[in-house]
Structure formats: structure tokens, C-alpha cells
Amino acid sequence: MARETPTPLVLKVEASDAGRLDTYLVRQLNEQSRSSIQTWIRAGHVLVNGLQQKTGYALEPGDEITIHNSDALRPQPGSTELQPMAMPLSILYEDESVLVIDKPAGLVVHPGAGTRGRPTLVAGVLAHLGAKAGDLPGEVERPGVVHRLDKDTSGVIVFAKTLSAHRHLALQFKNKTNLREYVALLDGMLPDEKCTVESYLTRDPRFRIRFMAHSLEAYEALKEAEADLSSYRYAKTYIERRKVYGKRLSLVVLRLDTGRTHQIRVHARSLGMPIWGDILYGASQRLPPQFPAALKVALEAVPRHLLHARRLGFEHPLNGRKLAFEAPLPEDFRSVLELLEKHSQS
């Protein structure tokens, strides 16, 4: 009897895990060394979008990796399954329909390529709900998820606990009837007290994990030229300046009219003042000489972008009551503002 040919292992690269081919496979597969992975790649057992590539090939989101003769390199059984992971959760509200949480910075909301074995907020929610976790609606790896926050964005997020709640909340996000308010520290002096940013967002073709903004005029020009605009998404953000520090840094409150991936971060960059600490959308950020040395050291050492989802409001999916929840600024963000306040008063 002829031996059955093993089914190839197929992996899909997510935006959060783009990078070198060999490094990606070391993270994804069964505890193999980089040298063994590199040998497998050079032997032609690994194809990217159907083609053999070098070990250092730069993966982009959406790339499909096919691994042949992969029994020795397959992920451990159950390693891609969603597993509960007990963790402290800052719960702002919970009932039979919804769960509202103050998410800390640095925690991914849901699993994806590159998160195997790492904590996710979804895993924490599953552990919190215990036996009731199986009732969560939504996608297999995103149970209960209605919207998301970037890994390094802190603040309020809501999970739906029933199918009807999920549908009701998703419709509110789609129809823009809910409240989404953020606080951010921008690297630049916002000239106007209030402004509105409108643009069309699409992936940056030179850096696929990043998005770029096209003005309304640029979009119309592309439309007249009959360009392919299927990937372009309209985005609108309201910004209100609250304070300027040292004629350089602006503390702002932002409200979303739409909710696109990286919307606030892209719009801040389009204004020429990216969010402080945002290494994806901002260049190397350095403060001018008029800032005291201690303050410069503290600010330049900030490990994440200073963006916080402060308030989230929605209509309760069961009784129609209007609810609003607020998460205080986390310690890292608050300590930066305290240093800036101290400097502005000296």
C-alpha cells in the first residue's frame, strides 16, 4: 500500500507578526532551533505564496506559508487552540449581556499569529467566565469581541456575552451611535483648540503593517483616475486640545466618528504630530534643549504610545439603557503628565 502523503502545514501571516521568515517560523512551530528551521527553508520544504524564499525573507501581512514534509515541525497538539489563562482583570461593569474591562497597555486583545503561548485579554475573559465561556458569541479566536484596542493602547473595552448582545453592540459601532473617547499626548503643538480630521485610510505599500492617510482631495483624484479604491476606508476623528507643554507636546481628547484600524495613530501622523512613544508612526522622538534633562530622559524612555481609551458609551443591548464607562489614566501616562506639569510650573 502506498504511503499517504502528509498534508502540508499552512500558516497565514498576521499584521502583528510580519518580519523575517525564519524568525516567524521559530515562534510558530514546535520549539525548533533557528538553525533547524533555516535548514528546512534552504531544503525547499517551505514556500511563501508558492515560491521558495531565503531564510531572511521579509514577510508581509497576508502572506501564506506552506510547509511540506512538516511532521517534525508541526505545532504542538492544541497549541493553536484558544485556552483560558487566569489573570487579574479590571472589570468596570458586568451583567448577563456585557462585560466591560479596563485593558492595561501591553496586552493583546485576541489571539493571532505570533501570540501562541502569550497572554491575551480573550484568554483572561475565558478564565473569568469559566463554564459560561462556551456561550460567548463571535469568531472562534475572538469570542465575545465587538471591537479591539491596539496592544499598547490602554482603556475601556466591551465584550458581548450573548449572540443578541454581540449583534446589538456591533450595529451600534457600525452606525456610529456609541461614544468612543480617547486621551493622547501628541508630539507637536496643535494650533487650534478644536479640529476635525477626515481622510481615507489604506495600507502603506512600503510598510504593510502600517496604514497611511489620503486626503479627501487625493481620494477624489484617484477616483477620477479610476484607481482601485477597494481597500480605502473613510475615517473621521474629532480632536480637542486640552493643554500644550513647552510649545511642543499637546495633550488632546479625541472622539471617533468611525473606527478604523490605527485610525487615531494615522490621523495624528497626518497632522505631523504623531502620538508620543509611537515607534510605528513616529520617527525617533527627541525633545528640544529647553526641556530639563531629567524630563527628556523620562519622556524618551516611554515604552509605548501614550494613547488611552478613556470613555466608552453604548446602549445596553437588553434594556436599551444608555451606559457610559470611564477608565482613569494608567500610572505610566499619569506620571508623564505630572512631570510635564511640574516642568511647566518651574
17 is catalytic: no
3-state secondary structure of 226: coil
Spatial distance between the Cα atoms of 92 and 113, rounded to a whole number of angstroms = 29
C-alpha pair distances (Å), 20 with each of 60, 203, 241: 9, 20, 40
Give the separation between CA 18 and CA 39, rounded to whole angstroms: 21
The Cα 43–Cα 46 span in angstroms is: 8
| Residue 59 contacts residue 113 (beta carbons within 8 Å) | no
Give CA 247 to chain center in angstroms.
30
Q: What would the grid cell of residue 167 be?
A: 449583534
Q: At CA 115, angle to CA 99 and CA 138, rounded to 5?
A: 40
Three-state DSSP state, 222: helix
Residue tagged active-site, from 17, 22, 150, 187: 150
Cell numbers 500610572 correspond to 331
Handedness of CA 198, 216, 262, 172 (dihedral sign): positive
Question: Pairing state of beta strands 307-315 and 154-160?
Answer: parallel
| DSSP 8-state secondary structure symbol assigned to residue 16 | G
For residue 254, the cross-strand partners are: 182, 239
C-alpha closest to that of 151 among 52, 272, 16, 59 = 16
Active site residues: 150
